[in-house]
Amino acid sequence: MSAPGRFLKTAAVILFILSLQLNVFPVLNFIPVKPDLFLVLAVVCGIRNSSLSMALSWGFSLGLLKDFFSIRFFGFNSFVFAADTFIIYLLCRRFYKDSLWFNLILISCAGMFNYLLFALVSGRFYFMIGMAEASLNCLFFPLVRRIYDFTIDHRL
C-alpha cells in the first residue's frame, strides 16, 4: 500500500478510537468503568511491531494523545505507555506471541501495571476499578487487534 494511503488509514483508526474513548464510552450509563482503548492499541503495537523503535514511538504517541485529554498528571500516560510497549516488545521476542491467552495476560498485566503506577503517583488505591478496567480491556482486545491488522499493519 502507498504511504499516503497507509497514513490515512492510520489516522482514521486513531480518530475512531479517539471518538469511542472520548465521546461514546463516557456517556454510557450501564458501564461505570471505561475500557482504555489507547492502552489496548499500544499493547497491540508492542506485540505486532517488529522494530523496537516503532513500538516505542507508537506507545509514546498514544500515551501523549491520552495525556492531551486527561485532566491531570500530564506526561504520565506517555511515559507509562512507552514503558508498557517496551516490556511487551521484549516479552514477545521470548515467548510465542500469537497465542491469544498470552496476549490477554499481557494486556491484563499492562492494565494492572498502569493502575499500580497511578496508585503510587496519586496516593489512591482503587483496586476494583483497576481490575474492572483490565477485564474490559481484554474484551476489546480482539476488536482492536483486528482493526490494527486490517489497517495499520502494512505487512499484510
Taking the C-alpha atoms of residue 125 and residue 134, their distance in angstroms, rounded to an integer, is 15
Residues in contact with another protein, counted by CB under 8 A, come to a total of 22
Q: Is the distance from CB of 17 to CB of 38 less than 8 angstroms?
A: yes
Residue with cell 516503532: 54
Taking the C-alpha atoms of residue 75 and residue 142, their distance in angstroms, rounded to an integer, is 28
> With respect to another protein, which residue has the nearer C-beta, 133 or 145?
133
- Binds another protein (CB under 8 A): choice among 7, 50, 70, 139: 70
Q: Which string of b and e fits 34-45 if b means at least 16 CB within 10 Å?
A: bbbbbbbbbbbb
- Binds another protein (CB under 8 A): choice among 9, 104, 126, 135: 126
User: If you ran DSSP here, which 8-state letter would residue 89 be given?
Assistant: H
Nearest distance in Å: CB 37, another protein: 8
- Binds another protein (CB under 8 A): choice among 7, 69, 95, 150: 69
Nearest distance in Å: CB 70, another protein: 6
Taking the C-alpha atoms of residue 97 and residue 82, their distance in angstroms, rounded to an integer, is 19
x/- map, 26-65, another protein, by CB under 8 A: xx-x--xxx-x-x---------------------------
Residues forming contacts to another protein in the complex (CB under 8 A) are: 21-23, 26-27, 29, 32-34, 36, 38, 66, 69-72, 118, 122, 124, 126, 129, 133
